[in-house]
Amino acid sequence: MCGIVAGVAQRNIVPSLLEGLKRLEYRGYDSCGVAVLQRGEARRVRTLSRVCTLEADARAIDLDGATGIAHTRWATHGMPVIDNAHPIFSGELIAVVHNGIIENHEQLRQSLRAKGYVFTSQTDTEVIAHLVHEHYCGDILTAVHNATRMLQGAYAIAVMCRDEPGRVIGARQGSPLVVGIGKEGVFLASDTFALAGSAERFIYLEEGDLVDIEGKDVKILDKEGQAVTRREIAFVRHASDAELGAYRHFMQKEIFEQPVAVARTIASVTGRETHQAGMPKPEELAEVTNVVMLGCGTSHYAALTACGWFEHFANVAARAEISSEYRYRDYVSPGNTLVVAVSQSGETADTLAALRYTQSMGEQRTLAICNVAASAMVRQCRWSFITEAGPEVGVASTKAFTTQLVALFMLAIQMGKQRGHVSESEAESYMRQLTALPDAMRNVLAREPEIMAWAEALYQSDHALFLGRGTHYPIALEGALKLKEISYIHAEGYPAGELKHGPLALVTDAMPVIVTAPNDALLHKLKSNMEEVRARGGRLFVLADSDTGLTVESGMRLIHMPAWFGALSPVLHVVALQLLAYHVACLRGTDIDKPRNLAKSVTVE
């Protein structure tokens, strides 16, 4: 989704802005642009191509200035064409980059047109640029303050004015914006990752904040225009987070990082130095009788997997709700609800809105399970559990998913203990199992060559069906999602028992059917479902625990997973399905880390 980098440097800022845009590429975009103040004018380049093309274009026109704003755009209002790419100008005076959606743009456009403003793009952003222009009387901060007061909707913006070199104004409402302070300048960006190369200290702006960057000075105002102080955070980032190293793609790197990420998440609760200060105390959850989990995409599937754990270990009713649907449903609370927002980024607009909706209905027990400690969701919730996946760059989520699963599992066990459904010794045994999880994941990763052979057999298919049962049904959904996201093969996940109620009609020898088969209580039922496929000439690809006793039969390929890993088995099977999607996509030659039309951090509805 859209990304912002802007700032004021002590030298030419263009290289820093472009480096920042490159770091934001993972969010997904369809155009990009950069503008700087140079010799008394605002100069810009924009392209529908990649940031490396923008870099060449900027070099070709000698773009050079100390004050600048830059953007990657993911089209919402208006097609991905050059005129709609940011920075958007109002005359030659004002330049704006914007993330989010202005809901009253139509109305503002009409009134600005009536005042003589001519619109050259279809974007809602142009409304902001002209509004700032209209309010400008020699002080860009005042102009932005007055203009933003007229905006409804969500925005993070960075604005500069031709007549005020050395100054950039930022504002946020509903979309993230962070100030980064470095040796060579002061910057603004949509996330800290963008500034990993330029800043060492960060300030997260709050809802409604305005920031005035003038030279090296940073002044923050709240929505009433009062000067405020926001906490500054020193940031240590490991170079390896942003680099591919020996891997071909970030997705591959992140799949292989999972044992370490999962171990970190476990240690954040059980290790000597725990950093989960925001977690609820066991007694605070004593009265909870039901859990509602909100999420989108992969995070929703983590929640769906965890439903089985909450029911089994804690004997509480649990629901996983798709945020974009839930936020518009009538609210029915059985009371004593724990609302859990599950999100990698902590900024997904629908999940944030669904969470706020539950709060507006009186829910007070809210917990964010997020990978970004300073995110809006963490700030919005009473409690938080920060997953320790580290920055996830690939648009298709992998290590964020498995660390979410670990967090949800630990929460379910803790609630089970608190409610007397899990004994002390059982809890200890589950924790031992958790500790063994990273090694078991390594074992699955070692099956990569076998998975690559499956990919060879699958990559020319047009469709694929994924089957699972129980807590492995969401894993089938996630396997199908991974495949469609990055390989563009049409894939569907089904609970295997539903096969005969529809999808069986699709089964022919042209339909690969991928089955996740743990050695659990439902195995014999699953075997019957597999027979239903085989009897119709379907091509079975079965991931089976080594102790299932399953052997290769005609019309079937088999990969033996480690022996059944109990309740945590979904965490192992999903790793194999991630690798499968990855290798199929490699064979199809798709843009794996930036799949078409998709974005990493979906900050608009």
Active site members: 2, 600
3-class DSSP state for residue 276?
coil
Considering only the stretches 2-10, 489-497, 539-547, 595-603, report the one whose residues sit in contact with ligand G6P under the rule CB under 6 A.
Answer: 595-603
- Site for ligand G6P contains 479 (CB under 6 A): no
Whole-angstrom distance, CA of residue 156 vs CA of residue 356: 19
How far apart, in Å, do the first and last CA atoms of the chain sit?
11
Measured from the CB of residue 289, what is the shortest distance to ligand G6P in angstroms?
A: 26
From 538, 551, 438, select the one nearest 496 (Cα to Cα): 538
Taking the least distance from each CB to ligand G6P, the nearer of 143 and 602 is 602
Contact 221, 195 (CB under 8 A): no
Exposure of 329 in the CB half-sphere (CA atoms within 13 A) = 14
- Cis peptide bond prior to 562, omega within 30° of 0: no
**List 2, 101, 296, 592, residue binding ligand G6P (CB under 6 A):** 296
**List 72, 258, 298, 324, residue binding ligand G6P (CB under 6 A):** 298
Measured from the CB of residue 370, what is the shortest distance to ligand G6P in angstroms?
A: 8
- When CB distances to ligand G6P are compared, the closest residue is 297
Q: Find tokens 């709700």 and name the residue.
A: 321
Considering only the stretches 149-157, 159-167, 446-454, 596-604, report the one whose residues sit in contact with ligand G6P under the rule CB under 6 A.
Answer: 596-604
Question: Parallel, antiparallel, or unpaired for β 67-73 and 88-90?
Answer: unpaired
- Site for ligand G6P contains 602 (CB under 6 A): yes
Query: Distance of CA 331 to CAs 291, 297, 326, 360, 432, Å?
Result: 14, 22, 9, 10, 39
Considering only the stretches 9-17, 41-49, 394-402, 529-537, report the one whose residues sit in contact with ligand G6P under the rule CB under 6 A.
Answer: 394-402
Q: Which two tokens stand for residue 249?
A: 């793609």
Query: Distance of CA 299 to CAs 202, 294, 322, 403, Å?
Result: 27, 8, 9, 11
Taking the least distance from each CB to ligand G6P, the nearer of 38 and 351 is 351
Measured from the CB of residue 373, what is the shortest distance to ligand G6P in angstroms?
A: 14
Taking the least distance from each CB to ligand G6P, the nearer of 348 and 418 is 348
Helix (H) or strand (E) holding 531: helix 523-535
Contacts with ligand G6P by CB under 6 A: the residue count is 15
For residue 273, what are the contacts with CB-CB under 8 A and spacing of at least 6? none
- Site for ligand G6P contains 397 (CB under 6 A): yes
Query: Distance of CA 400 to CAs 297, 339, 342, 562, 604, Å?
Result: 12, 20, 10, 22, 21
**List 299, 337, 403, 569, residue binding ligand G6P (CB under 6 A):** 299
- Site for ligand G6P contains 265 (CB under 6 A): no
Taking the least distance from each CB to ligand G6P, the nearer of 484 and 600 is 600
Considering only the stretches 157-165, 258-266, 358-366, 392-400, report the one whose residues sit in contact with ligand G6P under the rule CB under 6 A.
Answer: 392-400
Taking the least distance from each CB to ligand G6P, the nearer of 133 and 600 is 600
- Site for ligand G6P contains 305 (CB under 6 A): no
Taking the least distance from each CB to ligand G6P, the nearer of 89 and 401 is 401
Query: Distance of CA 361 to CAs 331, 351, 505, Å?
Result: 7, 15, 44
Considering only the stretches 47-55, 259-267, 390-398, 573-581, report the one whose residues sit in contact with ligand G6P under the rule CB under 6 A.
Answer: 390-398
Q: Which two tokens stand for residue 160?
A: 């500069």
Measured from the CB of residue 372, what is the shortest distance to ligand G6P in angstroms?
A: 8
Taking the least distance from each CB to ligand G6P, the nearer of 74 and 409 is 74
Measured from the CB of residue 248, what is the shortest distance to ligand G6P in angstroms?
A: 19
**List 145, 447, 573, 600, residue binding ligand G6P (CB under 6 A):** 600
Whole-angstrom distance, CA of residue 51 vs CA of residue 14: 12
Dihedral over alpha carbons 73, 74, 76, 79 (to 10 degrees)? 80
Per DSSP, helices labelled H in 136-257 are 140-148, 239-242, 250-256
- Site for ligand G6P contains 297 (CB under 6 A): yes
- Site for ligand G6P contains 81 (CB under 6 A): no
The amino acid at residue 86 is H
Per-position x/- string for 338-357, each x denoting binding to ligand G6P as judged by CB under 6 A, each - no binding: -----xxx--x--x------
Positions touching ligand G6P (CB under 6 A) are 296-299, 343-345, 348, 351, 395-397, 598, 600, 602
